[in-house]
Amino acid sequence: MARRQIHVSIDRLRGQRDEPAPRPQKLPSDDRACPTCASTFRAEEMRHNLNVCAACGYHWPVGGRERVAQLSDDGAYDELWTELRAADPLRFVDIQPYPRRVEAAEAKGTTEALVCADARIGGRPCVIAVMDFSFLGGSMGSVVGEKFARACERAADRGVPLVTVSASGGARMQEGVLALMQMAKTIVGFEVLRDAGVPVIVVLAHPTTGGVWASFASVGDVTYAEPGALIAFSGPRVIEQTTREKLPEDFGRAESQLSNGHVDAVVDRRELSGRIGRLLGILEQPPPATASLAMSLAQNGTERAARMAQALPSIPRRLRQRVLGGEPPADGGPR
């Protein structure tokens, strides 16, 4: 049997359906489009604007070292404890072994989810501890807790403030209970700073959730947040799936947390360095010379008052009453 040729035509259907919208052209590799307002910027523009959309203010995530450079004066800093690496005491395996995940994360250019450095902000020395969400979701494992504790001790020993930026999904599940122990360890580090009288400034970036928010990220002396940052123990998606209830659109966002009193201010990233610099100037402790001068003046005043008290019996009674306050003597004593 001969095969019949099949002919398909869609000309008749074109008049009944709308023409599909043309696909957007692919942007060059160094261009970025804002997910909120669809504005596009060159890579140089993004770096100059600290990865913030100039049209709508959307904040793109930034890496740990890039964040430290943004906060530091002239982008200069000395990174600390880069030799620390994550171990695998539990021999944890999910889709792939934990060491392979760590190696893949290190291939992106950083060694852990926390970057610590000595730096200056607004001309004042400080210790900076910044979390990097690109490293395993900024999860807090044993190395993160150890580096954070060392940063607290360093700030306390030097008497300089600690500035920390959080961006994390919580504790690192591949390390199990060892990761949960870091919550207590970071709080102990803050206790060391409190005993030393050293201020702590916390900046909450997107996202700050889980064990990080349930530990050090929520107990700073001054707490700032970036616009639109998600700040909650559990994200809205997890809560909705658990409770079967619809949450408000602004649930857990920085602006909502500000209205609830959980943060002190929502600060644009482009103003963050200057804001922290002014705050460090307010919180700066007086130099020792000023304190010793005040004590010497107080001591001299005390000695002078003692000498006046010893000389009081030799002062005529009327004058003594005027100095001490009260009515002059009625018996017409010596004046």
**Domains by residue range for the chain, with CATH:** 28-60 (no CATH), 61-283 (3.90.226.10)
> What pLDDT sits at residue 298?
61
DSSP state of 170: S
Backbone angles phi, psi at 189, to 5 degrees: -60, -40
What's the rounded Cα separation, in Å, for the pair 133 and 205? 10
Predicted TM-score of the model (pTM): 0.76
Whether 273 and 76 have beta carbons less than 8 Å apart is answered as no
Q: Which residues of the chain have pLDDT under 70?
A: 1-32, 286-335
Structural contact between residues 141 and 182, judged by C-beta atoms closer than 8 angstroms: yes
What's residue 33's pLDDT?
86
The stretches of 244-287 forming alpha helices (DSSP H) are 254-259, 269-283
pLDDT at 330: 54
* Amino acid 185: pLDDT: 97
Q: What local confidence, expressed as pLDDT, does residue 27 receive?
A: 46
The conformational region for residue 149 under phi > 0 = left, psi -120 to 50 = alpha, else beta, is alpha
pLDDT on residue 284:
85
305's tokens: 């008052």
What span, in angstroms and rounded, lies between the C-alpha atoms of 205 and 200? Answer: 16
Rounded CA separation 157/150 (Å): 10
Lookup: tokens for 139 = 């999860």
What per-residue confidence (pLDDT) applies to 335? Answer: 47
DSSP labels, 75-102: G-EEEE-TT-----TT--BSSSBHHHHH
Query: How many angstroms separate the CA atoms of 224 and 275, rounded?
Result: 10
